[in-house]
């Protein structure tokens, strides 16, 4: 749909991929994990690690990343569409700027 709009209204397009997106958000919950096998120290085998940042495979990672991105976009005057929350829009002078957020594996 966005490609069709861009062609119809002669808009400029830019696409980017954030490979490590999930690793860029802080965690709001206290989450602990067992030590990875290759990092276990003999004197502290029973200890667990508290996560400060989101990691891949963690159920909360996607939600935390989306909340971080949503906050940043809204702080620079983008508004999420009510009908499609993964689309954000803003006006810069007389130019309409649209950001589409997608997550792929």
User: Could you state, in chain order, the average pLDDT of each consecutive group of 10 residues for the chain (105 residues)?
Assistant: 90 85 79 86 84 82 86 96 94 91 76
What are the residue ranges of helices labelled H in 1-105? Answer: 2-8, 61-75
CA distance linking residue 15 with residue 100, whole number of Å: 9
pTM above 0.75, yes or no: no
pLDDT, residue 105, reads 61
CA distance linking residue 19 with residue 84, whole number of Å: 23
pLDDT, residue 27, reads 85
Q: Which two tokens stand for residue 56?
A: 């891949």
pLDDT, residue 73, reads 96
């Amino acid at each position: 749909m966005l490609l069709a709009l861009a062609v119809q209204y002669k808009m400029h397009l830019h696409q980017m991929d954030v490979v490590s997106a999930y690793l860029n958000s802080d965690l709001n919950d206290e989450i602990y994990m067992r030590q990875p096998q290759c990092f276990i120290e003999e004197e502290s085998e029973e200890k667990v690690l508290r996560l400060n940042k989101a990691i891949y495979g963690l159920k909360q990672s996607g939600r935390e990343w989306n909340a971080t991105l949503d906050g940043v976009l809204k702080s620079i005057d983008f508004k999420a569409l009510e009908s499609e929350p993964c689309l954000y829009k803003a006006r810069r002078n007389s130019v309409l700027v649209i950001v589409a957020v997608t997550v792929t594996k």
